[in-house]
Amino acid sequence: MNKFLSKLGSIIGLDRTNSLSNSIMIGLYTFDMDCFKLIEEVYKLNADAFTCIDWIAQKVSEAPLTLYHKIPGKEKQWQNFQRLRKSHDSRDHVKAARMVGSEVEEIPEHELLTILNKRPNKTMTGSLFMKGLTINLLTMGNGFAVGIAPPTSPGKFKEIYLQDPRKMRPVAASQLGEVKGWKFTLLLEKTIPVEDVLHVRYFNPDFTTENPYIMGMSPFTAAAMQIDSSNKGANALSRAFDNGGAMGMLSPANGSKITPEQMQELQKNVNQRIKGVENYKSIVAASAPMDWLEFGQSIVDLNVVEAGLNSSRKIANVVHLKSEVVLNDKEGSTYNNMKEARKACITDGVFPVQTMIEDCLTEWLVPGWFNDDSWYIAFDRSVYPECQPDMTEKVKWLKDAWWINPNEKRKEMDFATDGDPNMDKIYAPANLKPIEDLSLDVTGIGFDTEIDDGQDENNQGAGVPDEEN
How confident is the model over 121-145, as pLDDT tens digits?
999 999 999 999 999 999 999 999 9
Residue 247's pLDDT band (cuts 50, 70, 90): low
Q: Specify the higher pLDDT residue, 432 or 170.
A: 170
- What is the predicted pLDDT for the residue at 133? 97
Confidence at 293, pLDDT banded by 50, 70, 90: low
Select the more confidently predicted residue: 61 or 298: 61
Name 224's Cβ contacts closer than 8 Å, sequence gap at least 6: none
Comparing 413 with 376, the larger pLDDT belongs to 376
Between the CA of residue 350 and those of 49, 360, 433, what are the distances in Å?
Answer: 15, 16, 46
SS3 183: strand
**Highest averaged pLDDT of the listed ranges 126-135, 307-316, 342-351:** 126-135
How far apart, in whole angstroms, are the C-alpha atoms of residue 469 and residue 463?
14
d(CA 350, CA 52): 11
Span 292-311, average pLDDT: 57
Out of 184-193, 438-447, 452-461, the most confident range is 184-193
Q: What residue type is assigned to position 454 of the chain?
A: G
Please check the confidence at residue 22 and state whether its pLDDT lies above 70: no
Q: In the predicted model, what is the mean pLDDT of residues 4-15?
A: 36
Please state, in angstroms and rounded to a whole number, the distance separating the CA atoms of residues 140 and 167: 12
Instruction: Kindly state the percentage of the chain with pLDDT values over 90.
Output: 28
pLDDT confidence band for 265 (50 / 70 / 90): confident
pTM of the model: 0.69
What separation in angstroms does the CA of 459 have from each of 28, 250, 297, 447, 455?
A: 90, 106, 91, 12, 7
Rounded average pLDDT over 163-192: 79
Which residue stretches of 23-172 are H helix? Answer: 29-38, 47-62, 75-86, 90-99, 111-117, 126-140
More confident residue, 191 or 438: 191
Task: Give the residue, 142 or 419, on which the prediction is more confident.
Answer: 142
* For the chain, percent of residues with pLDDT exceeding 70: 66
Asked whether the predicted pLDDT for residue 162 surpasses 80, the reply is: yes
The set of residues, in sequence order, having a beta carbon less than 8 Å from that of 407 and lying 6+ positions away, is 417, 418, 423, 424
Please tell me which residue, 467 or 242, carries the higher pLDDT value.
Answer: 242
- Sign (positive/negative) of CA torsion 344, 346, 352, 358? negative
CB atoms within 10 A of CB 55: 19
* Model confidence at 252: pLDDT above 60: yes
For residue 181, give every residue at least 6 positions away whose Cβ sits within 8 Å of its Cβ, in sequence order, or none. 170, 171, 172, 191, 192, 193, 194
Does residue 438 carry a pLDDT above 90? Answer: no
Count of positions (residues) in the chain: 469
- Over residues 406-433, the mean pLDDT reads 80
How would residue 382 be classed by pLDDT, with cut points 50, 70 and 90? Answer: confident
Q: CA-to-CA distance for 402 and 396, rounded, in angstroms?
A: 12
**Phi, psi (rounded to 5 degrees) for 187:** -135, 60
372: left (phi over 0), alpha (psi -120 to 50) or beta: beta
- Residues 117/129, Cβ–Cβ less than 8 Å: no
Q: Using an 8 Å Cβ cutoff, are 54 and 135 in contact?
A: yes
Report pLDDT for 320.
Answer: 93
Q: Which residues, including other chains, have CB under 8 Å from residue 35's CB and lie 6 or more apart?
A: 140, 165, 166
Q: Per mean pLDDT, which range of 73-82, 124-133, 181-190 is the poorest?
A: 181-190
In angstroms, the CA 112 to CA 294 distance is 68
What is the pLDDT, as a whole number, of residue 204? 86
Least confident of 139-148, 201-210, 301-310: 301-310
Residue 253 scores a pLDDT above 90 = no
Whether the predicted pLDDT of 231 surpasses 90: no
